[in-house]
Amino acid sequence: MPISAFAHALRAFQSGDLTQDELSWEIDRQLAIEKASPVALMEILRVQQVAEPLASDAHDTIMSHLEEWPRDPTIVTGLRSPQRVARSPRAGVGDILQGRFSLVALIGEGGMSRVFKAIDLRRVEAAAPDPYVAVKVLTEPFSDYFGSIVALQREAHKLQSLSHPNIVRVIDCDRDGHTVFMTMEYLAGESLQKRLRARAAAGLDEAAALALIAGVGSALEFAHRNGIVHGDLKPGNIILTERGPKVIDFGMARFIARPGDAPRVEPPSQSTPKAVTPRYASPEMVAGRDPEPADDVYALACIAYETLTGRHPFGRKSDPQARDPRALPPRPDNMPRHRYTALIRALAFDRKHRTASVRQFLEQLLGTRRAVLAKRWAWFAAAAVAALALALAAASYRLVGERHVVPPLPSVAGIVPGAAIRDCPSCPTMRVLPAASFQQGDDGAAAESRSQRPRHRVAIAHPFAMSLHEITVADFHAFATATRRDMNGCTIYDGRWQYHPDASWQAPGFPQEASHPVTCVSWDDAVAYAAWLSERSGHLYRLPSASEWEYAARAGSDAPPWGDGSRACADANVADASAAQRYPGWSVFACNDHFVNTAPVGSFAANAFGLSDLLGNVFEWVQDCWHDDYTGAPVDGSAWQGEPCTEHELRGGSWFTEPRYVGPAYRDRFESAYRSSATGFRLVRELGQ
C-alpha cells in the first residue's frame, strides 16, 4: 500500500471531504485489507500533526483506533496462521474468519461470547457503501455432538425472521474450525447500560425513556408473536442508535448454554443458570425454568423503572432469590400512579400474578388505553357527519353470503363505481370503487392483529379507482426504460434472506415474465413510478392509503378470508405445499397453488370488487408512515403521514408468507429504500382529475 494513502485520507478529513466515519473505515481498510502496519500509520499521523495539527479530540480518536489494533507483528503483517483460529474459539482482532470476515475491533464481551466489529470482504469487493458487520464469536466450548451446528443454524434461521426496526438483524451463522460465530447487522451506538452509567443514577429524560421503552416493547411483542422469547433482556442487550433502540441476543444465551436437542441439565438448587442475568431475570428464569413472554415483561419492567428513575427497582439485591417478594419498589414522587401500578403488576414474583403480555404492560405504563377511551367520544362526534352523509349509500348494500354486492352509485366525473378504466396503452387497468365506511383492523384472521391493532372505524369520503392487480414487470419496464432510474440491489430469498447488490426487478432470484408482478421495488421506486405515470397520463396516480387498501381487500366482508386455509390456494399465491417441497420446514397453508415464487397476476379468483392478488403474491407498499396502532389515525381514509417518517407500511402478504400473516388487517413495515423479491405494489387513481 502506498504510504501516502493514509496521509491523503488525513488531509481529506481535515478539509471536510471525509467524515469521521469515513476516515475510520479507511483506517480499518488499510489495516485489515491492505495489511498496513499500525506503527507506520501512527508515524504518518505524528508527521501530519506537526505539519497540519488536527483538533486534539480528533487526533486522540484516531490514535486510539490505531493503538487498539494488535501489536503482534505476525498479526500486523497478516502472517497469522489460520490454524490458530481453528484450534481455539478465542478469535481476536486481526483474525479473518472463513476468509471473509476481518475482525477489526472488540466491541463487547460477555460470559459466553465476544462481539467484534468486522469488515465483510465480500461487501468490499462489491463496493457496498457499508462494509461492516458485527461478528459474535462463542467463547463457551460448543458441543461437538452430531448436528449441533445444524441446530445453531436452525436457531439463526428463526432469528432471521425477526425483521423489525427495533431488533438487530441476524445475517447468518457459521464455523471456522472450532470457532463458532454469528454475523449480525453492525450497530453504531452505545448500550443502554453504558448510557445509564453515564447518567449517574439520574435516569433518562421522561419522554426519551418512554419512547425507548415503547421501542423495546414493540420488538419484544413482535418476537413473542413469532414464538421467540428473549430470555435475557437487560440494558446491555439494548443498543441506542440514531434510529431508535435495537434489541440484540434474542434467545441465544440459553441456546448456547443448551443447543438444539442437547439434554437438559438442571442447575444446582443454589446456583443461577449461566444464560440469564439475575439482576433483570424473573424468579422463574433464575430457577432455570423455560422462558415465557411474562419473563420478558418482568425484565422490561425492571429496565423501565431504572430508565425512568436511574435506580433498579430492587436496589442492590440483584438476585431475585435474595429479594423479599412482599417488598414493593418505592414510588418516585413525580411518577403518575397509573405508571407505578403498571410497573408493580409487571414485577410480580409469580408468573400467574404478573402482567401477561408486553402490549398490556405498555398500554398500562403509557396510559394509551385511557387515551383511546377518551378520544373515542371525540371520534364519534367527528364521524357523525360523515356517517350521516354515507348512510344512504351504506343502506343500499345487500348481503350475499359473506360478501356485500355494491350497487351502482352516482357517477363521479362521468365514471360509475364498478367501471373499469384505462387512461393510456401503458397504464394499468383500474376498477372504480365507491365511497363507504368499514371497520379497519383486527378481523380475527391473524393473531398479531388481535394484540397489536384494535378495530378502527373509517369512512372513506370519495370514490377512487384501484388497479385490478399488482403492477407487472411489463408495466414497470416502460418506466425503467424511460427514466433509467438506478434500481439495483435487492434482498432475495433462496433458503435465507440475503442482500445481493446485483439483484433487481429484472433479476429477483427467480424467473419472471412480463405478466408477473414486479418485485425488488422500494417505496421510493413505487412513488417515482406513480409520479411518472401521472405526468404521462394527465391523471393523478399514487400509492393507496392503508385504509383504501384494506377496504379494497375486504371487498365488503368482515369474515376471515379462508377459515382453516384449505381454500387459500384458490384465491391467492401463498406459502403452500409446493413451497414446502422446495423449502422444507416452512409453515404453509394446507393446499397447493403450484407456485413457489410469484405467479402471473390474475391467476387466482378475484374478490367481490373484481380485484386480484390483494392477498398473497407480493407484499404491497401503501402511502402510510408506520404507526404502532390506530390511535390518532385519520377516519376519512386518507394516508397517515408523520415526521419523522422512517418506515412505510406493507400489506397483503406474499408467496413467502405463512398462514397467520395473510389477511386484510396484517401489516408489515420497512424503510422507504428497502427492496425485496417478495415486495411490489399497486396504484390508486384519483377521480375527477
Q: What is the C-alpha end-to-end distance of the chain, expressed in Å?
A: 62
CA dihedral of 227, 232, 236, 241, whole degrees rounded to 10? 10
The torsion defined by the Cα of 136, 139, 141 and 144, in degrees rounded to 10, comes to 30
**Which amino acid is residue 149, in one-letter code?**
I
- Give, as one character, the DSSP assignment of residue 351: G
Helix ranges restricted to H, 127-226? 148-160, 192-198, 206-225
**Residue 298 near residue 277, CB atoms below 8 Å:** no
Say if CB 375 and CB 469 are below 8 A apart.
Answer: no
**Residue the block writes with cell 472463513:** 98
Q: Are 650 and 622 in contact (CB under 8 A)?
A: yes
Neighbours of 373 (CB within 10 A): 9
Residue 562 φ/ψ region, left for φ over 0, alpha for ψ in the -120 to 50 degree band, beta for the rest: alpha
232 flagged as catalytic: yes
Contact 682, 469 (CB under 8 A): yes
45-73 burial, b for 16+ CB within 10 Å, e for fewer?
A: beebeeeeebeeeebeebbebbeebbeee
CA distance 69 to 38: 7
Instruction: Report the alpha-carbon distance of residue 553 to residue 606 in Å, rounded.
Output: 10
Q: Any residues with CB less than 8 A from the CB of 357 and at least 6 apart, and which?
A: 221, 224, 293, 297, 451
Could you count the other beta carbons within 10 Å of the beta carbon of residue 263?
6
**Which among 521, 571, 570 is positioned nearest to 683, based on CA atoms?**
521
Instruction: Please answer whether residues 267 and 288 qualify as being in contact, where contact means their C-beta atoms are separated by less than 8 angstroms.
Output: yes
Q: Residue 4 is inside which H or E element, if any?
A: helix 4-15
- Rounded Cα distance between 193 and 233, Å, is 12
- For 102, residues 6+ apart whose C-beta sits below 8 A from its C-beta are 32, 33, 95, 96, 118, 119, 121
The 8-class DSSP code of residue 115 comes to E
| Residue from 28, 95, 120, 232 carrying the catalytic annotation | 232
Residue 643: partners with Cβ closer than 8 Å, 6 or more residues away: none
- Quick check: helix, strand or coil at residue 17? coil
- Return the residue matching grid coordinates 394527465: 538
Q: Report d(CA 323, CA 4) in Å as an integer.
A: 62
The C-alpha R_g of the chain, in whole angstroms, comes to 28
Nearest C-alpha neighbor of 280 from the set 222, 216, 221:
216
User: Which residues are catalytically annotated?
Assistant: 232
